[in-house]
Amino acid sequence: MTEKYNMPDERGHFGPYGGIFVAETLIPPIQELNAAYQQYLNDPEFIAELDADLKYYVGRPSPLYHAERWSRELGGAQIYLKREDLNHTGSHKINNTVGQALLAKRMGKTRIIAETGAGQHGVATATVAARLGLECVVYMGAVDVARQSLNVYRMKLLGATVIAVESGSKTLKDALNEALRDWVTNVDNTFYIIGTVAGPHPYPAMVRDFQAIIGREAKEQCLEATGRLPDALVACVGGGSNAIGLFHPFINDASVKMYGVEAAGDGVATGRHSAPLCAGRPGVLHGNRTYLMADDDGEIIETHSISAGLDYPGVGPEHAWLKDTGRATYVNITDTEALEGFYALTHMEGIIPALESSHAMAYTMKLAPTMNKDETIIINLSGRGDKDMQTMAKREGIEL
Amino acid sequence: MSRLAARFEELAKTGRKALIPFITAGDPKPEFTVPMMHAMVEAGVDVIELGVPFSDPMADGPVIQRASERALAHKMSLRRTLEIATEFRKTDQKTPVVLMGYLNPIEAMGYENFANAAQLADIDGVLTVDLPPEEGVECGALLKARGVDPIFLLAPNSTDERVKKMDASGSGYIYYVSLKGVTGAGHLNVADVENKVKQIKANTQLPIAIGFGVKDADTAKTVANIGDGVVIGSALISKIEANLDDPDQAKNEIIELLTSIRHALDN
């Protein structure tokens, strides 16, 4: 890998991936957004305001916690958890929504829209919209509305309008389609806060830059705790925002291995999964070229995962590039394995992870024992499991 | 001269406006489409836009979304849409056919394979909603080399710079999206359309077809007179949707609407 990783290019390309693939009506707002983003990216006043929000509102820096008992139990590498679950609203999603909301304010937009899968991004968006007094509309697949009803209630409580999307597979991809349709209709006053590192340029780069605080902190904290860089990073990948946030500041550190964990659902071999990097093919969806779950005719196929936040047929274009260049390795974890990860962290460390993050836990259970005790793994604990209590209780046959 | 260029030149000579219907290939079932296309030609349409069904039609409103879903339920695809076009062409060598859809089915087929297949099916134009000219250089060149016109969209918020870009990259005609929104949306504002089309015409010689939000003969006439033609899609597909158990009735109602629009445009 090059010493001077400097992706994407000015039109948003990560090698053959990324770019701007949208209907013409969205070109002007995307140009406007890109201009604003480039302007404020290096604006000291903007950065100071963002830093203050991250510190006093989000609660950063999030701790890097040494899971000693779990590490001992697994008998290999020392495991450190980057505690994004401790952020305000319970996941890493707020890092990005705080940043984009500040941009929206500077651009004079009065209305915020978002798509959401598990509801974490929707909650994080509704939260910042409430704080700034902006109108907020969140699109969520009807299937996800049903399985993440706690988060739906939270969004409504925060004053957002939640629209259940009934088209297509009624999950995250359909919520994104519907949000794009809203944006095209209301381009003049509306700012679309995309929650992951997908979408047309500049979203993949912009969301990454807002999430890279995770990796910057983790690097510093790891050096402080262990005196050296970590040997491996592990993060779950749906669209890939928490993973890229952790990975990006380490891309030039060649000794640090990176593992992105996709959702294998019932198993990649069954076809019922959400693992485009492991088992998909390149194509174009939602404004960028990336790996997709699509059939031979290019139609997007339905995905499956126990975790709504990973239930998406695409993935951020930068991950597609990191896969092709071999800089990061992408693996997959089934629903059943993810549940083992969920229970392991809960029982061993007294931390209940989100089902999404549980995929990263489960992969670490395979990886850690293959490594030496003086080696270090950092897992991105991207969110807490509170939102999944109903799903888990239901699986255990308990009525809440 | 391409079939599209010839058609617009002929219309200009006789002072007529182009009537361009949009239907989704294979909606409500595959065998409906070819006879429907021939019937529309008899009703006096000038160009046919044939929608390629896609699982995630991000720029379309609910009516065309559902048309895509119905067609996909019958395993319709880009490949089968090309077969429909081939079938139509066997008995109609005059009417230009434009494929309108999204990029991913073309990516899956491969640009060169697609361009070859489009040429073989005697397709006249390809409008790919989510392929702006910057990303469409390669695909556009392959199509143009085979005599197929790449057609681009312009929107109410498009700048002069964008108009010039479409003028340089596209051929056949420019599809002007009359309102900010999805297909079949609300009401278009005639004065706005008029001003914008004037601005577009100052920067391109290509014919302008105006679509989105055209629901009846009156709007069609008003809009067509601003540009060089009018595209009508959701209003036709609504007829299919209203008569799912009786495709013949759907066909009759579509022809009735197109006939009334043709009459309005010519008088």
Out of A168, A184, A296, the one facing B56 most closely (by C-beta) is: A168
pLDDT for B153: 97
Q: Which of residues 193-212 of B touch A (CB under 8 A)?
A: none
Q: Which of A84, A115, A217, A356 is catalytic?
A: A115
Q: Search chain A and give the residue with CA nearest B55.
A: A299
Residue pLDDT, tens place only, A322-370 = 999 999 999 999 999 999 999 999 999 999 999 999 999 999 999 999 9
| Percentage with pLDDT > 70 across chain A | 99
Using DSSP, state whether A335 is helix, strand or coil.
helix
Q: Are B129 and B153 in contact (CB under 8 A)?
A: yes
**Angle between helix B111-120 and helix B137-145 axes, rounded to 10 deg:** 30
Task: Show residues of chain B in contact with A201, CB under 8 Å.
Answer: none
State the amino acid at position A301 in one-letter form.
Answer: I
Q: Are B47 and B96 in contact (CB under 8 A)?
A: yes
Query: How many angstroms separate the CA atoms of A178 and A375, rounded?
Result: 45
pLDDT for A168: 86
The answer to whether residue A169 is catalytic is no
Distances (CA, A) of B132 to A316, B127, B156: 20, 10, 16
- Does any CB of chain A come closer than 8 Å to the CB of residue B108? yes
Q: Are A160 and A136 in contact (CB under 8 A)?
A: yes
How many Cβ atoms from other residues are within 10 Å of residue B116's Cβ? Answer: 14
How many Cβ atoms from other residues are within 10 Å of residue A322's Cβ? Answer: 29
pLDDT for B185: 78
pLDDT for B187: 76
Nearest to A363 by CA among A315, A327, A331, A339: A331
- Does any CB of chain B come closer than 8 Å to the CB of residue A45? no
Query: How many angstroms separate the CA atoms of A355 and A309, rounded?
Result: 8
The model's confidence at residue A13, banded by pLDDT at 50, 70 and 90, is very high
Q: Report the mean per-residue pLDDT for chain A.
A: 96
Task: Show residues of chain A in contact with B109, CB under 8 Å.
Answer: 298
Nearest to A296 by CA among B126, B113, B68: B113
How many Cβ atoms from other residues are within 10 Å of residue B100's Cβ? Answer: 23
Q: Is the pLDDT of residue A38 over 60?
A: yes
Out of A24, A286, A301, the one facing B154 most closely (by C-beta) is: A24
The model's confidence at residue A2, banded by pLDDT at 50, 70 and 90, is very low
With vertex at residue B260, the alpha carbon angle to CA B259 and CA B266, rounded to the nearest 5 degrees, is: 90
Q: Is the pLDDT of residue A301 over 60?
A: yes
Task: Show residues of chain A in contact with B131, CB under 8 Å.
Answer: 21
User: What are φ and ψ of residue A136, in 5° steps?
Assistant: -135, 125
pLDDT for B181: 87
Nearest to B224 by CA among B262, B187, B260: B262
Please tell me what DSSP assigns to residue A54: I
Interface A-B: count of C-beta contacts within 8 A:
119
Using DSSP, state whether B175 is helix, strand or coil.
strand
pLDDT for A147: 83
Residue pLDDT, tens place only, B17-70 = 999 999 999 999 999 999 999 999 999 999 999 999 999 999 999 999 999 999
Residue pLDDT, tens place only, A110-147 = 999 999 998 999 999 999 999 999 999 999 999 999 88
- Does any CB of chain B come closer than 8 Å to the CB of residue A302? no
The secondary structure of A195-241 as a DSSP string is -SS-SSTTHHHHHHHHHTHHHHHHHHHHHHHHSS--SEEEEE-SS-H
Residue pLDDT, tens place only, B186-221 = 778 899 999 999 999 999 999 999 998 898 999 999
Whose structure tokens read 């010493």? Answer: A3
pLDDT for B152: 98
Contact B182/A181, CB-based, under 8 Å?
A: yes
**Residue A10 CB-density burial (10 A; 0-12 exposed, 13-18 middle, 19+ buried):** exposed
Pairing between β-strand B149-154 and β-strand B174-177 as defined by DSSP bridges: parallel
Contact A180/B156, CB-based, under 8 Å?
A: no
Report, as an integer, the average pLDDT of A62-87: 98
Handedness of CA A263, A234, A239, B77 (dihedral sign): negative
Q: Report the mean per-residue pLDDT for chain B.
A: 96
Report, as an integer, the average pLDDT of B129-147: 97
* Two structure tokens written together for B155: 């929107």
Whose structure tokens read 């302008």? Answer: B208
Query: How many angstroms separate the CA atoms of B149 and B175, rounded?
Result: 12
Pairing between β-strand B48-51 and β-strand B18-24 as defined by DSSP bridges: parallel
Q: Which of A93, A170, A173, A219 is catalytic?
A: A93
Q: What is the pTM of this model?
A: 0.96
Query: How many angstroms separate the CA atoms of A233 and A64, rounded?
Result: 13
Q: Are B20 and B46 in contact (CB under 8 A)?
A: yes
Q: Is the pLDDT of residue A199 over 80?
A: yes
Query: How many angstroms separate the CA atoms of B137 and B168, rounded?
Result: 11
Query: How many angstroms separate the CA atoms of B30 and B79, rounded?
Result: 12
What's the ipTM? 0.96
Contact A25/B177, CB-based, under 8 Å?
A: yes
pLDDT for A385: 96
Q: Which of B9, B31, B42, B49 is catalytic?
A: B49
| Percentage with pLDDT > 90 across chain B | 94
User: What are φ and ψ of residue A244, in 5° steps?
Assistant: -65, -35
Query: How many angstroms separate the CA atoms of A159 and A135, rounded?
Result: 8
* Two structure tokens written together for A205: 């780069």
The answer to whether residue B60 is catalytic is yes
**Residue A370 CB-density burial (10 A; 0-12 exposed, 13-18 middle, 19+ buried):** exposed
- Give Cβ neighbours of residue A319 (< 8 Å, ≥ 6 apart): A197, A237, A240, A243, A244, A260, A277, A290, A291, A328, A330
Contact B158/A299, CB-based, under 8 Å?
A: no
Q: Are A1 and A251 in contact (CB under 8 A)?
A: yes
Beta-carbon-side half-sphere exposure of residue A98 (alpha carbons within 13 Å): 27
Query: How many angstroms separate the CA atoms of A79 and A72, rounded?
Result: 9
The dihedral over CA atoms of A308, A361, A286, B81, expressed in degrees to the nearest 10, equals -80
Q: Is the pLDDT of residue A22 over 80?
A: yes
The model's confidence at residue A3, banded by pLDDT at 50, 70 and 90, is low
Q: Is the pLDDT of residue A1 over 50?
A: no
Q: Which of residues 119-178 of A touch B (CB under 8 A)?
A: 167-168, 173-174, 177
Query: How many angstroms separate the CA atoms of A205 and A17, rounded?
Result: 12
